[in-house]
Amino acid sequence: MNAKWTDIQHRWDKAKLTKKAVFWVAIGAIILTLFFGFTRGGWVTGGGARQMAATTSNDAVVARLTPICLAQFNQDPLKDQKLEELQAMTISSQRTTYVKAQGWATMPGEAQPDNKVAAACTQQLMLIGK
């Protein structure tokens, strides 16, 4: 058994990696870690994280302002007539322009209507009566 163990140890000693081989194995491990981290692990760059945060915050603002647009629509004395006109339009950009023109998407204290709020408000208005 001693001779067999020595033979195994001798083969293991011959199989030791050189410094060059260890270097390339480490480089390969780093590359694989980065590849799987960014493709499967959900890692993002700093710029990607900033973009996701900006998108999320913009979406949250639109979600909070859309009810104000709907409330301004509900305060319009001609809302039923204007809703019929809005629902008769077939092109969504025309509908959004119509909502902006009515002033419903212009938030209190603002001079101009918000495009994203107008689009979200239009979607909600189109659901009325359906």
Q: What is the pLDDT of residues 33-78, one digit of tens each?
A: 999 999 999 999 999 999 999 999 999 999 999 999 999 999 999 9
Q: Report pLDDT for 129.
A: 65
Q: Is the pLDDT of residue 4 over 80?
A: no
pLDDT at 10 over 90: no
The answer to whether the beta carbons of residues 100 and 115 sit under 8 Å apart is yes
Dist CA 24 CA 17 (whole Å): 10
Structure confidence at residue 12 (pLDDT)? 75
Is pTM beyond 0.75? Reply is: no
User: Residue 15: what pLDDT?
Assistant: 73
Please report the DSSP string for 54-122 in residue order: HHHHHHHHHHHHHHHHHHHHHT-TTHHHHHHHHHH---HHHHHHHHHHHTTTSPTT-SS--HHHHHHHH
Question: 83: exposed, middle or buried (C-beta count within 10 Å: 0-12, 13-18, 19+)?
Answer: middle
Domain extents in the chain: 2-39, 61-126
Q: Rounded distance, CA 126 to CA 130, Å?
A: 8
Residues near 17 by beta carbon (within 8 Å), at least 6 away in sequence = 25
48: three-class secondary structure by DSSP = helix
For 84-104, how does the pLDDT look when each residue is reduced to its tens digit (9 = 90+)?
999 999 898 999 999 999 999
